[in-house]
Amino acid sequence: MKQSLCLGLIAAAVCAAMLTAPAPARAHKVVVFAWTEGNMVHTESKFPNGKMVNGGKILVLDSRGTRLLEGTTDANGLFSFAAPGKADLKIVLEAGMGHKAEWLVRADELCGAPAPGQSASAPAAPAAPPEPSMATAPESLPPPEVQTSALTGANSPGIEKRLEGIERELTGLKRQIAEQSGKEAGFRDILGGIGYLLGLFGAAALVKARTKKGE
């Protein structure tokens, strides 16, 4: 009985710890995510409590793990680079003290990137076409170059302006979608985890009690 009082107190301490942890909970892990804009790839690295990774090392690898380029995140956790080719890119963040995170950029997210082998000196052309939205199959659309020439051929300045606006919005959306995947644990995870632990040790107690009875 006395012990149950005490266990209640520990449980209260657990609850207090839970309340001091704001939801969505802060954490000590690191996430990196990337979004594309034309053939530019932007990466953002942060600790899920909102702190940006300043001076983290970003490695860009191809699908076979060959290092293509590397860079360092700035004070806002950002690092951008021009995609070296239209191929899958693996972005690896090394933030020190055993922190590491990865993000995959698929080849079809990259628009206007030169074919592998060509030089990638110029950043996205100003008239880079917007990417097809996720819902439509990219294969079914004509290649972006054709689209661009068709549109500029139409020679209507209004359309280009709107295209640019759409492109900016799409980039913002892509960034939001990427950010979603780095979401931190919430109250449901915390309570679920505690439940699992209590259940786990409860099961262990059950097994111990059974084996004792059997003896």
Partner 1 sequence: MHISEGVLSGPVLAAGWGLAAAGTAMGLKKLESAEMPKTALLSSAFFVASLVHVPVGPSSVHLILNGLVGVLLGWPAVPALLAALMLQAVFFGYGGVSTLGVNTVVMAAPAVLCRSIAGPHIGNPGRLAAAMAAGAGAFAVFASALLMAAALWFTEGRYLVTAGTVVAAHLPVMAAEGLITALCVGFLRRVEPGLLPAPRAPRGAAPEEKERLKP
- 181 counts as binding partner 1 under rule CB under 8 A: no
- Nearest approach, Cβ of 25 to partner 1 (angstroms)? 5
* Per-residue binder mask for partner 1 (CB under 8 A), 191-210, x = binder: -xxx-xxx-xxx-xx--xx-
- Nearest approach, Cβ of 96 to partner 1 (angstroms)? 7
Query: Considering Cα of 126, then 169, then 45, then 41, what sign does the dihedral take?
Result: negative
For every residue of the chain, DSSP letters joined together read -HHHHHHHHHHHHHHHHHHHSPSSPP-S--EEEEEEETTEEEEEEE-TTS-B-TT-EEEEEETT--EEEEEE--TTSEEEEE-SSSS-EEEEEEEETTEEEEEEE-GGG--SPPPTTS---S---TTPPPPPPTTS-GGGSPPHHHHHHHHHHHT-HHHHHHHHHHHHHHHHHHHHHHHHTTPPP-HHHHHHHHHHHHHHHHHHHHHHHHHHHH-
- Nearest approach, Cβ of 67 to partner 1 (angstroms)? 15
Q: Which stretch binds partner 1 (CB under 8 A): 20-28, 78-86, 145-153, 158-166?
A: 20-28
Interacting positions 39-68 with partner 1 (CB under 8 A): 47, 49, 51, 54
Q: Which stretch binds partner 1 (CB under 8 A): 15-23, 76-84, 159-167, 170-178?
A: 15-23
- 90 counts as binding partner 1 under rule CB under 8 A: no
- Nearest approach, Cβ of 70 to partner 1 (angstroms)? 16
- Nearest approach, Cβ of 202 to partner 1 (angstroms)? 7
Q: Are 29 and 99 a contacting pair, CB within 8 Å?
A: yes
Token pair 């699908």 is found at 63
In the list 65, 66, 97, 143, the residue contacting partner 1 (rule: CB under 8 A) is 97
Interacting positions 98-137 with partner 1 (CB under 8 A): 98-102
CA atoms within 13 A of residue 98's CA, in its CB half-sphere:
2
- Nearest approach, Cβ of 212 to partner 1 (angstroms)? 7
* Residues of the shown chain interacting with partner 1 in the complex, contacts defined by CB under 8 A: 2-3, 5-7, 9-11, 13-14, 17-18, 20-21, 25-30, 47, 49, 51, 54, 96-102, 184-185, 189-190, 192-194, 196-198, 200-202, 204-205, 208-209, 212
